[in-house]
Structure 1
Amino acid sequence: MIALLARDLRLAIRAGGGFGLGLAFFLILATLVPLGVGPDATLLRPIGPGILWLGALLACLLSLDRIFALDLEDGSLDLLATAPIPLEGVATIKALTHWITTGLPLTVAAPALSLLLFLPTSALPWLVVSLLIGTPALSWLGTFGAALTVGLKRGSLLLSLLVLPLYIPTLVFGAEVVRRGGDGLSVATPLALLAAITLGCVAVLPFATAAALRINLR
Structure 2
Amino acid sequence: MKALLLRDLRLAFRSGGGFGLGLAFFFLLSVLVPLGVGPEGGTLGRIAPGILWIGALLACLLSLDRIFALDHEDGSLDLLATAPIPLEAVVAVKALAHWLVTGLPLTLIAPGLAVFLNLPAAGYPWLILSLLLGTPALSAIGAFGAAITVGLRRGGLLLSLLVLPLYVPTLIFGGEVVRRGAEGMALGTPLALLAAISLGAAALLPFAAASAIRVNLR
Gaps of 5+ in 1: none
RMSD (Å), alpha carbons: 0.5
Which segment drifts farther, 34-43 or 156-165? 34-43
- Aligned identity (percent) is 72
Per-residue deviation at 1:36? 0.5
1:65 aligns with 2:65: yes
In structure 1, the partner of 2:56 is 56
Residues 125-178 of structure 1: CA deviation (Å, up to 9, x unaligned): 000000000000000000000000000011000000000000000000000000
Q: Distance in 2 between matches of 1:89 and 1:16?
A: 24
Instruction: Map 1:148-159 onto structure 2 (within 5 A).
Output: 148-159=148-159
Q: Any unmatched runs of 5+ in structure 2? A: none
Give the residue type in structure 2 aligned to 1:167. Answer: Y
CA deviations on 1:49-71 (whole Å, 9 max, x unpaired) are 00000000000000000110100
Displacement after TM superposition at 1:18 (Å): 2.2
User: Where in structure 1 do 4 or more consecutive aligned residues deviate above 6 Å?
Assistant: none
Amino acid across the alignment from 2:138: L
Aligned equivalents of 1:113 and 1:145: distance in 2?
29
One-letter amino acid of the structure 1 residue matched with residue 141 of structure 2: L
2:115 is matched with: 115
2:133 match: 133
Q: What is the CA–CA distance in structure 2 between the aligned matches of 1:15 and 1:208, rounded to whole Å? A: 28
C-alpha distance in 1 between matches for 2:117 and 2:194: 23
2:94 maps to amino acid: K
| TM-score (norm. length: structure 2) | 0.99
Q: 3-state SS of the aligned residue for 1:39? A: coil
Partner letter of residue 95 of structure 1? A
Contact 2:11 2:17 in 1 (8 A): no
Q: Secondary structure at the match of 2:65?
A: helix
Matched, 1:169 2:169: yes
The residue matched to 2:112 in structure 1 has which SS? helix
Between the aligned partners of 1:77 and 1:40, the Cα distance in structure 2 is 51
Distance 1:40 1:117 in 2: 10
Q: In the aligned structure 2, how far is the partner of 1:81 from the partner of 1:88?
A: 9
Alpha-carbon distance between aligned partners in 1 of 2:11 and 2:52, rounded to the nearest angstrom: 28
Number of equivalent positions: 218
Q: Distance in 2 between matches of 1:166 and 1:152?
A: 20
TM-score by length of 1: 0.99
The residue number in structure 2 matching 1:14 is: 14
Counterparts of 1:211 and 1:203, CA distance in 2: 14
